[in-house]
Amino acid sequence: MYELQKEKYLGNTKSIFNNTQGITVVETEYHDKVYEGWHSHNNAHITLFLKGGTSEKRKNFSEVVGPGSLLFYHSDELHMNHDTLFPSKNINIELEENLLKELQISEATIEKSIQNTTFTKFLMLKIFKESLVADAFSGDTINMLFAQLSNTNSHLERFEKSPFWVKSLNELLNDCWNENPNLQDLAQVLNLNPITISKHFPKYFGCTLGEYMRRIKIDRSLSLIKSNQNNLTEIGFQCGFSDQSHFIRTFKNQTGFLPKQFQKL
């Protein structure tokens, strides 16, 4: 069994941004078979898969992950990987214990926060983009971006305690993610007054209806860009953007990257 120290991963570390305030950004690539036994990492970290994939196994569950998959690892949590696809690539946001204490954030809080998977993916991409800039402001910017993650808990708690129609609406929006439903259409399907949705949507979803739909569409585009041979114009159209410039602007606004830049990561 391996116990991996700070900034150490089984694959090839391509680039590292070390924030002296307690966050490290590590980009890891896998081109050849690596150790497939149980191992752990000293620091808690969040991993976003950009390319390839693997079969992930932990003490109580196992799952197959691929482009766009998001995972959280507690410090010293045992896990193993096998049937890794080559090449594979992921981004790791590594969190030191002193940072979590300073921000008064527990690992359990982070684990719960990343249930808001789409928002977390976008934050990770923005943190990664900032780590590539690596100027005098990057350290503070990365910390500010990470702090947003812990703030999602209040919305998650409200969502968990929400009326039944909120969860039904969430399922409906994710089912028709490549369409452009308006408030009237949604209210009719759910047998609600449109004002009810309009009034309470930000409370339970943490944003407006338009923002939420754009997040879903861009989230879907992430895996399509990485695993699909179609060009970016076609992917934008598949994700419900009839205007390519709108797709590009929205993608950059959500992730920090242009679609073509993300495609090359």
pLDDT, residue 251, reads 97
Last residue of a domain, one of 154, 176, 202: 154
The domain of 111 spans 2-154
pLDDT, residue 244, reads 93
Verify that 131 and 201 share a domain, yes or no.
no
pLDDT, residue 186, reads 94
Last residue of a domain, one of 154, 180, 213: 154
Last residue of a domain, one of 99, 127, 154: 154
Verify that 26 and 111 share a domain, yes or no.
yes
Q: What is this structure's pTM? A: 0.92
pLDDT, residue 24, reads 94
For residue 252, give the CATH number of its domain: 1.10.10.60
Q: Which residues are CB-contacts of 61 (< 8 A; sequence separation ≥ 6)?
A: none
Instruction: For the chain, 265 residues long, give each residue's pLDDT as a single digit of tens.
Output: 688 998 899 999 987 888 778 999 999 999 999 999 999 999 999 999 999 999 999 998 899 999 999 999 999 999 999 999 999 999 999 999 998 888 888 899 899 888 888 999 999 999 999 999 989 999 999 989 998 887 777 777 788 888 999 999 999 999 988 888 899 999 999 999 999 999 999 989 989 999 999 999 999 999 899 876 679 999 999 998 988 999 999 999 999 999 999 999 9
Among 209, 210, 263, residue whose Cα is nearest residue 236:
263
pLDDT, residue 2, reads 84
Verify that 127 and 187 share a domain, yes or no.
no
Verify that 31 and 137 share a domain, yes or no.
yes
Verify that 114 and 81 share a domain, yes or no.
yes
Q: Would you tell me how many other CB atoms lie within 10 Å of the CB of residue 251?
A: 29
User: Rounded to whole angstroms, how far apart are CA atoms 258 and 250?
Assistant: 9
Q: Would you tell me how many other CB atoms lie within 10 Å of the CB of residue 116?
A: 20
For residue 125, give the CATH number of its domain: 2.60.120.10
